[in-house]
Structure 1
Amino acid sequence: MPEAIWISFAFVLGLLVKTVGLPPLVGYLAAGFVLSGIAAAANIAVEATDVLAHIAHLGVLLLLFTVGLKLKLRSIVSPEVIGGSLLHFGITCAVFTPGLYLLMELDWQTAFLLAIALSFSSTVLAAKVLETKRELRAFHGRVAIGILIMQDLIALVVMSLAAGQTPSQWALIVFGLPLLRPLLFKLLDASGHDELLVLLGLLLALVVGGLGFEAVGLSSELGALVFGAMLANHPRSQELAKSLWSVKEVFLVGFFLQIGIGGLPDGQALVFALVAAIVLPLKGLLFFFLLILFRLRARSSFLSSLSLTNYSEFGLIVASVALPEWLIPLAITVSLSFVISAPLNRYAHSLYERWSGSLVKFEGQTHHPDEQPISLGSTRVLVMGMGRTGTAAYDWLRQTEPELIGLDSDPAKTQKHQAAGRNVVFADAEDNTFWQGLYMPELQSVILAMNDIEGKLIAARMLRRKGFTGYIVAHTMYADEAKKIREAGADEAYLTMSETGVALASHLRDQRPAIPSQTAGTT
């Protein structure tokens, strides 16, 4: 069976490259090229590729859906995201087009379309790398994902124009999707914690988002991302993402295999890929200086740029529509960029520490509002995560504790709390930059009330690393998570439902009228 061969090659080569310190996805790419040669010799490439392409597509849709689950759309609609992506796209096309025209003796249209294909960065690779490092919600992660979304939208427009197709009139229905959010929230609440939760994720990512958007002439990838983002504010969004994790990872192996199995390169394709790899650092440098221009710190600019220093699978999709004869050279180019980018991103923080002395010289005098150092001053109690639980804790504490502050990673939620008179500021517990600039000289107690377990673990660890010796308390739904939180440095982690029961019982004890003894008045 072809599937057995794919799985065997993917596992063996994935394990092999992992032993030498490279991400397994590099092994999956290598397995694809090996299988491509075997399939070509056995004359079975077309049938195998069709099956694998379907698996790969499902993996991409699930990945983008889970990325959407972690997105706060209001936080990516920002000058650095919109301006950075558009400027990078324009400059890249302006430089690459004449270069390809002169060096490769192409016509202007072909050179321009190739420049467009090379201007995009890989959403799949960047999202997977950031997710693996738990940096999707960090400031530099949000900037990188925002730029990738903008690039994907540009790619969709280019493909529509190149194919001579436009979305149907029914595509306008998409603008009414926010009205479905209450229904989606109810479905998520009703799905429980078992297989129905997984099926709901598959339904929204593959059927409603994927096929639904295709039916009205829009990209299925965009549909999966949009439906994930619509659930991002739900308290159980991260539980849904975790439930889909294994399915998504298996399908994504198919995506990386597909890139390699697409065909064997000739000499011209290899030369093209090598030249593109040589100029790849220029792509990252352009992103770095553009983000510096938008007042990001050198560290955030460097980490975001490194995530974007690769070529995109969307370039292959554009080529399949507009330049089918360039599909194999672009596939080799994308694969080679993955081999270069994946290990670089693995050591991104170490690389920045090594080069930080030179990079910080490019910073401006003013910095982005999201990257300003936070001083807690005389604050004695800190509430991290201002959802329903955090808000309830804050409101109860402020009756007796004047030196109180709340932190939340959602700018819109932060503004809402400030309008209600609460002392709440924007901060992301999963962003290392926040911890580097945090000052807490008088802090005594911390409540960890974020929705996701990773945020609580990171916050507990970072507080202890910064020398905090005060009391840290958290809540969680599951006993195994409570154990992890305590091991990360929290003094105590309470089970949410157990504490709710205790609170209800205490209300009953405090409020009910005295019940006369059953033995009173008996003889």
Structure 2
Amino acid sequence: MPEAIWISFAFGLGLLIKSVGLPPLVGYLAAGFVLSGLASSPSIGISAEPTAVLAHIAHLGVLLMLFTVGLKLKLKSVISPEVIGGSLLHFAITCFVFTPGLYLLMDVSWYVAFMLAVALSFSSTVLAAKVLENKRELRAFHGRVSIGILIMQDLIALLVMSLAAGQTPSEWALIVFGLPLLRPLLYKLLDASGHDELLVLLGLLLALVIGGLGFQSVGLSSELGALVFGAILANHPRSQELAKSLWSVKEIFLVGFFLQIGIGGLPDTNAIIFAVVAALVLPIKGMLFFFLMLLFRLRARSGFLTALALTNYSEFGLIVASIALPEWLVPLAITVALSFLISAPLNRLAHPLYDRLSNRLVPFESKQRHPDELPISLGDTRVLVMGMGRTGTAAYDWLKISEARLMGLDSDLAKVMRHQKEGRNVVYADAEDKTFWEALHMPSLDAVILAMSDIEAKLIAAKKLRKYGFTGYIVAHSMFEDEARSICEAGADEAYLTMSETGVALASHLLERSPGTMPAPVSDKAS
């Protein structure tokens, strides 16, 4: 049974590669190549020919990947000069330089040279997201810029795939312009799906059936359909929960995609030479990203960390090649795998690398700073509210009645601007950015309220406040008792349970109406 052999080899080599700190998908590609080699040996007798089943699984993996990209496609994450300008300029410069170089050196047509340049211009969403998540830097400024650029690259890849497929839409394709009208219905379906298997089924229905098969039936790309339906749900509060619920399913199907490439044939000498030369060009790709980030007034540190996260080749390049250049899939697969072998270890050492190179990189900085990277000084602030969502805003508004020296911090620049327009003293800062803590001045600070929604941000803030000498009062809230204990262990004085405090507040309102009739409430806290 070939499926049993595929699964066994994919798991074994994926686990082996993961144990040395590299992305498992390198192991899946290797498993495909090993199976292809075993199949070519008559003495072993293993059949590893790609089948319609594996091809179908691979296609489903691509559709689910694009659907989850769509779920992250919030306008605020891509509408910024450094994201739009950086991604488009990098794409244009790469294609302008690589296309004639490939045409002259490899004796290929202009079309093949251009499509290879396009495939090599993309960076890996999978690798960058995992590296940033493991370092808890997805919400840091350079993490958000990296993810925004990757989303723009994914959109460019999708456009190229649609043009390369050469599909002619039918007259029914005009229906897609009315899809935004379905948003209220889709929101209700998402709300009604709960948190278990129905949520996963809804994602599969939208990505594979309505989006994929539906768009294909009217002559449009199924990949475009998956992305569009993901984007329609992107602003729903539970969109990221849906993305997380589909994560494992998507990853399993993508294993089929990488296996299919490997099983398709062993790399020859030319494929290996192509991959090695492309790997030697990687530093140029990273340097281009770095100087483009400096062009948009980012600090050298943010530019370096962004560039390093994007210095690799992309699985999206393989998806583009599977449609436009199927004969180049194996050389490109080796190229992507080799770039991962280089990029993953470098990203784990990103901060020490910058520390060693900072003296050479800082002189390239612009004298004008990006608005997201202005240095923070708390001045004479006595009370600091970190996280200006609903809870933080309520705490701020309550305190400002009696405390004039009050400041709020938030990592969402749009939210900061809204608070400033409403008259609150709120500035941009990211609790997960190491540089913020190193540059923070807090001479008069007495108390800090940790009101961020992310537990990791609260833990980091509590630890960093204590590390950099703050001895005042730190209080936080949490939905769960174990998280509250962790926040206190990280350095907070007290961490109150959100729902318990809500109950206390409701009871307090009742006591205000009927004083003396009930005992005083007792707060539920972990400390």
TM range (shorter): 0.7 to 0.9
- Secondary structure of 1:446's counterpart equals strand
Structure 1 residue runs without a partner (length 5+): 517-523
Which residue matches 2:320?
Answer: 318
Query: Do structure 1's residue 486 and structure 2's residue 480 form an aligned pair?
Result: no
Q: How far, CA to CA, are the matches of 2:466 and 2:233 in structure 1?
A: 32
The alpha carbon displacement at 1:225 in A equals 5.8
Q: What is the match of residue 525 of structure 2? A: none
Q: Note the alpha carbon deviations across 1:314-339, whole angstroms, 9 max, x for none.
A: 22222233222222222222222222
Could you tell me which runs of 5 or more consecutive residues in structure 2 were left unpaired when the two chains were aligned: 519-527
Evaluate the alpha carbon distance shift between residue 247 and residue 292 of structure 1 in structure 2; reply closer, same or farther with a 3 A threshold.
same
Q: Match of 2:524? A: none
Q: Which residue of 1 aligns with 2:500?
A: 498
Cα drift, residue 296 of structure 1: 1.0
SS in 1 for 2:471: coil
Q: Which amino acid aligns with 1:505?
A: A
CA distance in 2 between counterparts of 1:213 and 1:137 reads 34
1:81-120 map, 5 Å: 81-120=83-122
Provide Cα deviations, 1:470-496, integer angstroms capped at 9, x if missing partner: 222222222232233233322222222
One-letter amino acid matched to 1:81: V
Residue 451 of structure 1 deviates from its aligned partner by 1.9
* 1:29/1:256 contact within 8 Å kept: yes
1:128-277 → structure 2 map (5 Å cutoff) = 128-165=130-167, 190-203=192-205, 206=208, 242-277=244-279
**Residue type of the partner of 1:426?**
Y
Deviations 1:385-430 (A, max 9, x none): 2111111111111111111111222222222211211111222222
- Give the aligned length: 515
Deviates more, 1:9-18 or 1:225-234: 225-234
Aligned equivalent of 2:419:
417
> Take 1:68 and 1:462, find their aligned partners in 2: how far apart are those partners?
35
Question: Using the alignment, how far apart are the partners of 2:65 and 2:33 within structure 1?
Answer: 23
**Which one-letter code corresponds to 2:128 in the other structure?**
A
Partner SS, residue 279 of structure 1: helix
Alpha-carbon deviations, 1:504-523, whole Å to 9, x = none? 1121122137769xxxxxxx
Alpha carbons of 1:187 and 1:262: their partners in 2 closer, same or farther (altered >3 Å)?
Answer: same
User: The residue matched to 2:504 in structure 1 has which SS?
Assistant: helix
Is the Cα contact below 8 Å between 1:76 and 1:142 reproduced in 2? no
Change in 2 beyond 3 A, CA 1:466/1:137: same
Check 1:171–1:514 CA distance in 2 against 1; reply closer, same or farther (3 A cut): farther
Question: What is the alpha-carbon distance in structure 2 between the residues aligned to residue 314 and residue 280 of structure 1?
Answer: 17
* Distance change (3 Å), C-alpha of 1:159 and 1:182: closer
Deviation at 1:300, TM superposition (A): 1.1
Identity %: 79
Most deviating of 226-235 and 503-512? 226-235
Deviations 1:261-307 (A, max 9, x none): 44311121111111111112111111111111111111111111111
Instruction: Note the C-alpha offset of 1:94.
Output: 1.5
Distance in 2 (CA, whole Å) between partners of 1:307 and 1:420 is 37
Q: Deviation at 1:374?
A: 1.0
TM-score (norm 1): 0.87
Equivalent residue letter for 2:429? A
In structure 1, which of residues 362, 372, 375 is the aligned counterpart of residue 374 of structure 2? Answer: 372
Separation in structure 2 between the aligned mates of residue 268 and residue 18 of structure 1, nearest angstrom: 28
Task: Return closer, same or farther for 1:510/1:378 CA change in 2, 3 Å cut-off.
Answer: same
Aligned-residue offset at 1:197: 4.7
1:354 is aligned to: 356
d(CA) in 2 for partners of 1:53, 1:249 = 15
Preserved CA contact (<8 Å) 1:448 1:472: yes
Counterpart-to-counterpart distance in 1, 2:363 and 2:26: 34
Pick closer, same or farther for the CA change 1:249–1:227 going to 2, 3 Å. Answer: same
Map of 1:521 onto structure 2: none
Partners of 2:418 and 2:437 in 1: CA distance = 24
Q: Which amino acid aligns with 2:385?
A: V
Partner in structure 2 of residue 520 of structure 1: none
Q: Which residue is 2:5 aligned to?
A: 5
